[in-house]
């Protein structure tokens, strides 16, 4: 593990480092202040669409599903992998300013029907492939088949928390009116009555993570489908404008280096200033291990 800057320099001088670039070119129309899941957009890495049997969990990993490349597995050598630098740029004015979060996507429950108002149990056939205690993991609700955006549909989720306690319940959250696939359907910047205004669904008071999702209940129906995704937020970055790239260097910005788990499926969520349709968003990632 890295204990100080000298260890970091030695690791890089020893070739224990990896660099890759990524590019996303969304086709979906987005709106200002509404979070969006870039993993569903064309580009490099290739998109994934949460396409699997409804309501049954699926695990995501770099080796089987792709995501932003971050280098080889290192835990077998007794090492840890760290995020060294992370950068983004865009020439698309509608995108900026834009907050972004790099996440490890671990587990998702696909094709949950928004028209069903009975309790829908979810099956955890696949468990967390990494971070198995669930500490720090969050839930996001991704629109995967267009809603109408009418009727102010609301729902809550039951889940098992990071302490292994099942039957925990989120606050009641409401859906926004966005129709595009990839929308984080509970993000809403202007309505204080909605419990989830950011990208993640609030957990029950006192909980700090999620191991699995047990079920979901819609209080009012709409057409459309969502997928519930368990992610680990790793790093935040904000694109300020189109005139220059922005780079995050955690060791100097925060005196810390986020850990990248072996075989993590890395992807991005973002909160643009307008529509991302036709935007070009590019970036890079640098990892190191010791």
Least confident of 5-9, 111-115, 159-163, 237-241: 5-9
The percent of residues above 70 in pLDDT, for the chain, comes to: 98
pLDDT tens by residue, 110-157: 999 999 999 999 999 999 999 999 999 999 999 999 898 777 789 999
Q: How far is CA 161 from CA 36, 56, 72, in A?
A: 25, 18, 30
pLDDT at 206 over 70: yes
Q: Which residues pair with 58 in a beta bridge?
A: 108
pLDDT given at position 193: 64
pLDDT tens by residue, 15-36: 899 999 999 999 999 999 999 9
**Strand runs labelled E in the chain:** 17-24, 36-37, 43-44, 58-59, 81-89, 98-113, 120-121, 138-145, 154-161, 168-169, 173-174, 210-218, 225-239, 246-248, 259-260, 266-271, 281-289
pLDDT given at position 196: 72
Average pLDDT taken over every residue of the chain:
93
The percent of residues above 90 in pLDDT, for the chain, comes to: 80
pLDDT tens by residue, 31-53: 999 999 999 999 999 999 999 99
With the CA atoms of 23, 29, 30 and 36 taken in that order, what torsion angle do they form, in degrees rounded to the nearest 10?
Answer: -50
Q: Whole-angstrom Cα distance, residue 103 to residue 113? A: 25
pLDDT given at position 192: 64
The three-state secondary structure class of 14 is coil
């Amino acid at each position: 593990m890295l204990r100080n800057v000298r260890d970091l320099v030695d690791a890089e001088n020893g070739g224990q480092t990896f660099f890759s670039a990524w590019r996303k070119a969304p086709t979906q129309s987005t709106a200002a202040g509404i979070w969006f899941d870039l993993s569903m957009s064309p580009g490099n890495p290739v998109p994934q669409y949460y396409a699997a049997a409804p309501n049954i969990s699926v695990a995501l990993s770099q080796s089987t599903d792709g995501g932003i490349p971050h280098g080889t597995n290192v835990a077998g050598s007794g090492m840890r992998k760290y995020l060294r630098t992370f950068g983004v740029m865009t020439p698309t004015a509608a995108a900026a300013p834009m907050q972004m979060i790099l996440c490890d996507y671990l587990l998702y429950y696909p094709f949950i029907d928004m028209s069903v108002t009975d309790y829908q149990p979810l099956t955890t056939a696949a468990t967390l492939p990494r971070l198995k205690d669930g500490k720090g993991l969050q839930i996001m609700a991704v629109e995967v088949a267009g809603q109408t955006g009418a009727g102010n549909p609301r729902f809550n989720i039951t889940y098992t928390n990071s302490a292994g306690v099942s039957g925990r319940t989120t606050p009641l959250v409401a859906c926004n009116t966005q129709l595009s696939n990839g929308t984080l359907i509970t993000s809403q910047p202007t309505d204080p009555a909605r419990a989830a205004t950011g990208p993640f669904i609030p957990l029950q008071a006192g909980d700090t993570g999620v191991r699995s999702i047990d079920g979901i209940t819609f209080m009012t129906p709409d057409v459309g489908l969502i997928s519930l995704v368990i992610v680990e937020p790793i790093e935040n970055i904000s694109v300020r404008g189109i005139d220059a790239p922005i780079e995050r260097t955690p060791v100097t910005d925060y005196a810390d280096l986020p850990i990248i788990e072996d075989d993590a499926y890395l992807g991005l969520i973002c909160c643009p200033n307008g529509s991302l349709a036709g935007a070009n968003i590019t970036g890079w990632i640098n990892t190191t291990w010791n």
